[in-house]
Structure 1
Amino acid sequence: MARIKKTAQPQTTAQQLGSIVKTSRDIMRKDKGLSGDIDRLPMLTWIMFLKFLDDMEQIREEEAILSGDKFRPAIEAPYRWRDWAAREDGITGDELIAFVNNDEAVRPDGTRGSGLFAYLRGLQGANGGDRRDVIATVFKGTINRMINGYLLRDVINKVNGIHFTSSDEIHTLSHLYESMLKEMRDAAGDAGEFYTPRPVVRFMVEVLDPKLGETILDPACGTGGFLVEAYSHLEKQCNTVEDRKTLQASSIYGGEAKPLPYLLVQMNLLLHGLEYPRIDPDNSLRFPLNEIGDRDRVDVILTNPPFGGEEEKGILNNFPAEMQTSETTLLFLQLIMRKLKRQPRPGRAAVVVPNGTLYEEGIAQRIRGELLTKFNLHTVVRLPKGVFEPYTDIATNLLFFDRSGPSSDVWFYEHPLPERRAHLKGKSYSATDGLQYEEFEPLINWWNNRIENEHAWHISAAELIQGNIDLAQVHPRHSNIVLAAPAVIINGVRKLKDESELLLQKLEATVKGLGNVDAPFVALGELINQRTTTITIQDDVIYRRTRVQLHFRGARVRDVVQGLDIGTKTQTIIRTNDLILSKIDARNGAMAIVTSDLDGAIATNDFPVFEIVSSRVNPAYLRYCLFQPSMLRVYENLSRGSTNRRRLKVDKFLDLKIPLPKEIDAQIEVADRLHAAETLISELADRFGGMNDELADLVGSALHNVFSVARNE
């Protein structure tokens, strides 16, 4: 960001920036076209994107005038931010919506011409591409979802208060933007898209140590975590104008096929200082593997390819017949191996892979064989479970290899849980107590001075090849019996017992505190109504489809797709606090109370949606009545059909009776106490190393036994 200079614009503090973003999101909540942060964040991003571009253009124009050079803006009048957005009393209402959305509209200068998005999508760069190509590609996958032009004007006026003309200000905004990205990941992490925690990204970049002048690629870059960290790593190595030119022009490359992450990675990289991000907007797997030559290869690959997933037949045909698979991770591994440079300096890679990649047979085994015989697979870092919470509890590993191979010794490093969680039998991080970068310090110190220790060991590649090429190795110490002194063990058990006893006393008091509540049984059909609000899917509109996860884990966004790709053209709209369930999997616990971030999403007839009569039942209370493990047998009995396709009968479900306190306040009191009980049970489960059956049934037991009328029926 060396060219960005201080201007007369007032500096925006971190507090002011946070306030601007928060106020903008609050305004967006009033717009009926937006549903949750998964809609609001992209809206805010494209608006900030255009403001950022215009501020940068004005700086470049001033520099060109001072140096006597010609300047051609990427965006011409009257489509620049300063032409249509900068004035608080500028175009608004329906006129603003028409200018943004329509192919042809009245422009801010009063003439007729292309609408804003139509103009931006039609931009073309010169001489092999420039910022205009980036803008065009970004807006080909971007849609304005706001339908109220007055609210849109309010948001634009707020964003106009951010001045992208100061290095300090952009640095502050980049941190704020990262927190916004994390919020969206928490809302949308699904279908194999497990965003890499920042500590893992930073560690992988640190030990791979990209050098200025090398080319760095992430072929599945998502919102750009690896690329941003790599850019920051290289930026520290810049000492001259030429160094900066190298960094800007020929260092950072990525691939991201989904429109929303593509927009987000562009903004993320621009905010961090990369003036022309080179991100491929198509599937990185689309090229035949045998056609990738030396000119396509790179020095460094850092990536976390999607877990699971399926590719279309045309993609699979790009791989040798004996190496075709539906497992996306394995396809990306083959691509990464092919894309690494052979000379003059062998290319190197760091890749996140799920546990199955290390031990599964078939194609996974053949890939491991190639890694050992044709590449130098020098390090496998085994991470504990829970590193990728809340997206998945799948155990993950980090593979480090280069093209200097073949492999000699493979080092394994078993990253330990910190002491604060080491007592857990489950050996897992949690969503609220995740991995910290400082915990990698022993591993980083070991990296360049490798000796066997309690966490690290090595096995010869020859030994691995003679076996089943199994890389899911455990430390040899696990085969030895090492016991602590009896007094240490006894004191540990005593401490655990004392702490658990205090938690049990609190839990007992919480459950007893429910008292006797007048709660006659009421049919579910009197408390919920099946929602019949449907929409007809339009081909050119983007929709969010829901999925309901098993075992009461909630509803989430299944995917974000264009209407053209949706087969069932009539679908149900879901709203906040609706009850949604899966007909097929309700017997396994697939039902949820809809949270606000899913408001306005769609569901097929396989996922019945019910509006809760809030005047009669509190949604949180209803959740405790319906979402107990003991209810699974009830839903099984209410399901009909063949063994593998049993479906919950909705009419039978509506006949189900639950105990219902007559007063809403009483229901809320019960729900609050049960929530407190759940929290205490979770703490106890942590100490016991898992949830035992008695603890799992306790909330349901309390619910069914505290009601005086319920006990008498």
Structure 2
Amino acid sequence: MVRKTKNEMPKTTAQQLGSLIKSARDIMRKDKGLNGDLDRLPMLTWIMFLKFLDDMERIRETEEELAGRKYKPAIEPPYRWRDWAAKEDGITGDELIAFINNDEAVRPDGTKGAGLFAYLRSLHGANGGDRRDVIATVFRGTINRMVNGYLLRDVINKVNSIHFTASEEIHTLSHLYESMLKEMRDTAGDSGEFYTPRPVIRFMVEVTDPKLGEVVLDPACGTGGFLVESFEHLRKQCKKASDFEVLQKGSITGGDAKPLPYLLCQMNLLLHGLEYPQIDPGNSLRFPLREIGDKERVDIILTNPPFGGEEERGILSNFPEDKQTAETALLFLQLIMRKLRRGTGGKRGGRCGIVVPNGTLFGDGVCARIKKELLEEFNLHTIVRLPNGVFAPYTGIPTNLLFFERDGPTKEIWYYEVPLPEGRKQYTKTQPMPFEEFGPVIAWWKDRKENGHAWKVSAAKVVESGYNLDIKNPNGKQDLEHLPPEQLTESILKKEQRIAEIMAEIKQVLADGIK
């Protein structure tokens, strides 16, 4: 008899779930209303979302009945998954499409009423902030793009075979779901969306070290990578029931204005165990900075805001006149600075880890004025310079991780340049940066000493340079890819001048030889 190891998944859990999701996606590929993976992914997501909710409702309903309490479901009959989706021979074809899409339709119980999506969008919690509000917000940004009701019934039947009531299946599905997110990221990279590699996220969360009771925010959360990793980090600190209650109520917050990432983030967090994700579906930059007070401030911000892009004039007017810019990353940096909690009464100030493009380090004008405020009012204690290709294939722009706290002005800045492995010129999509490459940085973080990859610079030196944070490793070789444009141009001109001088010398030697 072969004994299974503790971590070995039964075939009926891991392999069956994988094949179920694959076959469901294969079915959707036959539907003429779907054009690509970005259409199929939200399709699967909202279906799994409703199945997951119904399974969770069943568990809570049983718990409340055992406790002698009446349970009020988030979704009422006949709109629960069990009412319209669970039966293999249930409504199908045009009838199914009409029930899902139309504002008014014949419901599975034969009565007339609001269609499924219309009903879900109308939900609202008694006091706000509960699961019904999450459901309503999710479906306000969701459209059913599948037009063939018979193929849709096949997909629903496949998903119905997944039982979210089993903890092992939820764990397995969360990994399968993240692989789906990766496919979406790979496709979205061509349209200018940059998603943060998991090793970078894990490193930033580990060194920022959120503590239970602190509030973590990602104002540009995308599919929720930083929030999921922060949630897992905080969950490890929970020892008793009250700890889990603290974790569930307001510890994890985020925002993303795009419907698809918003939906994916909600599902991702739900699958990892966050019962009521607090994700804002609006543009995080829409509020005037001056109106953000202490109540809106948080303990920790971890984020990778969009690089480049342009915001409408109405958004720019939310920022000080001398700091208005079309560079989205700089707008988010100002928002973050405003949103971090002040350190008062011996309490630690808010802290941030943010991904920024290299241009933020050496930028002048508006960028320099923002960095001036950053150094004067925050402690920019660490800049980690990432190696080439970490964000491949989305962008080849050199990137940096800035870590700062709201606990007084900057006195000195530590730099750490993460090297490429020997023999590598850059990371690629097929050979990405593994988390293990951050091991030396993590070891150095708590006991900082200068070495071949780490050095420190006084804030006074940065001020003298016009707030240029693009300071090279004094112990390393010059990397032209990280030079500001003016220095790069000067370097090229000097080299060309030297080449011309050498060519002139060679020409003279040849001329002398001929004589």
Give 1:587's aligned residue: none
8 Å Cα contact 2:174/2:268 also seen in 1:
yes
Distance (whole Å) between structure 1 residues aligned to residue 205 and residue 476 of structure 2: 30
**1:277-324 deviation digits (Å, cap 9, x = unpaired):** 000000001111011000000000000000001111111111011111
8 Å Cα contact 1:383/1:414 also seen in 2:
yes
Distance (whole Å) between structure 2 residues aligned to residue 191 and residue 216 of structure 1: 28
8 Å Cα contact 1:192/1:308 also seen in 2:
no
Distance (whole Å) between structure 1 residues aligned to residue 141 and residue 350 of structure 2: 33
Give 1:280's aligned residue: 280
1:378 to 375, 378, 381: 381
1:445 to 443, 446, 454: 443
1:234-313, aligned counterparts within 5 Å? Answer: 234-313=234-313
Give 1:172's aligned residue: 172
Distance (whole Å) between structure 2 residues aligned to residue 103 and residue 457 of structure 1: 62
Give 2:405's aligned residue: 402
Query: SS at 1:419's partner residue?
Result: coil
Distance (whole Å) between structure 1 residues aligned to residue 124 and residue 66 of structure 2: 27
Give 1:219's aligned residue: 219
Give 2:207's aligned residue: 207
> Once the 2 structures are TM-superposed, how far is the Cα of residue 350 of structure 1 from its aligned partner?
0.1
> Once the 2 structures are TM-superposed, how far is the Cα of residue 405 of structure 1 from its aligned partner?
2.0
8 Å Cα contact 2:453/2:475 also seen in 1:
no
**1:167-214 deviation digits (Å, cap 9, x = unpaired):** 211111001100010001101124542100000000000000000000
Give 2:422's aligned residue: 419
> Once the 2 structures are TM-superposed, how far is the Cα of residue 129 of structure 1 from its aligned partner?
2.3
> Once the 2 structures are TM-superposed, how far is the Cα of residue 478 of structure 1 from its aligned partner?
3.6
Distance (whole Å) between structure 2 residues aligned to residue 12 and residue 246 of structure 1: 35
Relative to structure 1, the CA distance from residue 165 to residue 224 in structure 2 (aligned partners, 3 Å threshold; closer, same or farther) is same
1:16-31, aligned counterparts within 5 Å? Answer: 16-31=16-31
Give 1:339's aligned residue: 339
8 Å Cα contact 1:100/1:117 also seen in 2:
yes
Relative to structure 1, the CA distance from residue 479 to residue 430 in structure 2 (aligned partners, 3 Å threshold; closer, same or farther) is closer
Distance (whole Å) between structure 1 residues aligned to residue 204 and residue 46 of structure 2: 30
Q: Which amino acid aligns with 1:373?
A: E
**1:382-422 deviation digits (Å, cap 9, x = unpaired):** 0112110011111100000001121111000001001241x
> Once the 2 structures are TM-superposed, how far is the Cα of residue 371 of structure 1 from its aligned partner?
1.4
Q: Which amino acid aligns with 1:365?
A: A
1:147 maps onto 2:150 in alignment: no
Distance (whole Å) between structure 1 residues aligned to residue 159 and residue 292 of structure 2: 43
Q: Which amino acid aligns with 2:437?
A: E
1:469 to 467, 478, 498: 467
8 Å Cα contact 2:350/2:405 also seen in 1:
yes
Distance (whole Å) between structure 2 residues aligned to residue 128 and residue 157 of structure 1: 33
Q: Which amino acid aligns with 2:24?
A: S
1:435 maps onto 2:433 in alignment: yes
8 Å Cα contact 2:24/2:155 also seen in 1:
yes
Give the percent of matched residue pairs that are identical in Structure 1 and Structure 2.
Answer: 73
1:189-208, aligned counterparts within 5 Å? Answer: 189-208=189-208
Q: Which amino acid aligns with 2:57?
A: E
RMSD: 1.2
8 Å Cα contact 2:381/2:412 also seen in 1:
yes
8 Å Cα contact 2:220/2:284 also seen in 1:
yes
Structure 1 unaligned spans of 5+: 1-9, 481-713
1:95-114, aligned counterparts within 5 Å? Answer: 95-114=95-114
Give 1:358's aligned residue: 361
8 Å Cα contact 2:452/2:476 also seen in 1:
no
> Once the 2 structures are TM-superposed, how far is the Cα of residue 468 of structure 1 from its aligned partner?
1.8
Query: SS at 1:180's partner residue?
Result: helix
Query: SS at 1:250's partner residue?
Result: coil
1:317-328, aligned counterparts within 5 Å? Answer: 317-328=317-328
Distance (whole Å) between structure 1 residues aligned to residue 417 and residue 182 of structure 2: 27
Distance (whole Å) between structure 2 residues aligned to residue 303 and residue 217 of structure 1: 8
Q: Which amino acid aligns with 1:292?
A: I
8 Å Cα contact 1:11/1:169 also seen in 2:
no
Distance (whole Å) between structure 2 residues aligned to residue 122 and residue 399 of structure 1: 42
8 Å Cα contact 2:250/2:278 also seen in 1:
no
Give 1:549's aligned residue: none
Distance (whole Å) between structure 2 residues aligned to residue 215 and residue 90 of structure 1: 44
**1:142-171 deviation digits (Å, cap 9, x = unpaired):** 000111000000000000010000221111
Distance (whole Å) between structure 2 residues aligned to residue 209 and residue 127 of structure 1: 32
Distance (whole Å) between structure 1 residues aligned to residue 477 and residue 274 of structure 2: 50
> Once the 2 structures are TM-superposed, how far is the Cα of residue 373 of structure 1 from its aligned partner?
1.1
8 Å Cα contact 1:381/1:415 also seen in 2:
yes
1:74-113, aligned counterparts within 5 Å? Answer: 74-113=74-113
**1:316-340 deviation digits (Å, cap 9, x = unpaired):** 1110111111100000000000000
Q: Which amino acid aligns with 1:460?
A: S
8 Å Cα contact 1:12/1:169 also seen in 2:
no
> Once the 2 structures are TM-superposed, how far is the Cα of residue 12 of structure 1 from its aligned partner?
4.2
Distance (whole Å) between structure 2 residues aligned to residue 128 and residue 266 of structure 1: 17
1:387 maps onto 2:390 in alignment: yes
Distance (whole Å) between structure 2 residues aligned to residue 297 and residue 90 of structure 1: 49
8 Å Cα contact 1:191/1:309 also seen in 2:
no
**1:218-258 deviation digits (Å, cap 9, x = unpaired):** 00000000000000000000001100000001200000100
- Which structure has the higher relative contact order (CA within 8 Å, separation 6+)? 2
> Once the 2 structures are TM-superposed, how far is the Cα of residue 11 of structure 1 from its aligned partner?
8.8
TM-score, normalized by length of structure 2? Answer: 0.89
8 Å Cα contact 2:216/2:298 also seen in 1:
yes
8 Å Cα contact 1:12/1:163 also seen in 2:
no
Q: Which amino acid aligns with 1:476?
A: P
8 Å Cα contact 2:296/2:339 also seen in 1:
yes
Query: SS at 2:232's partner residue?
Result: helix
Greater Rg, structure 1 or structure 2? 1
8 Å Cα contact 2:453/2:476 also seen in 1:
no
Give 2:123's aligned residue: 123
8 Å Cα contact 1:377/1:407 also seen in 2:
yes
Give 1:608's aligned residue: none
Give 2:482's aligned residue: none
8 Å Cα contact 1:177/1:268 also seen in 2:
yes
**1:657-705 deviation digits (Å, cap 9, x = unpaired):** xxxxxxxxxxxxxxxxxxxxxxxxxxxxxxxxxxxxxxxxxxxxxxxxx
TM-score, normalized by length of structure 1? Answer: 0.65
Query: SS at 1:189's partner residue?
Result: helix
Q: Which amino acid aligns with 1:58?
A: R
**1:465-521 deviation digits (Å, cap 9, x = unpaired):** 1222111111112479xxxxxxxxxxxxxxxxxxxxxxxxxxxxxxxxxxxxxxxxx
Distance (whole Å) between structure 2 residues aligned to residue 126 and residue 456 of structure 1: 54
Greater mean alpha carbon deviation, residues 296-305 or residues 467-476: 467-476
Distance (whole Å) between structure 2 residues aligned to residue 356 and residue 191 of structure 1: 21
Distance (whole Å) between structure 1 residues aligned to residue 227 and residue 281 of structure 2: 15
Distance (whole Å) between structure 2 residues aligned to residue 291 and residue 266 of structure 1: 27
Q: Which amino acid aligns with 2:77?
A: A
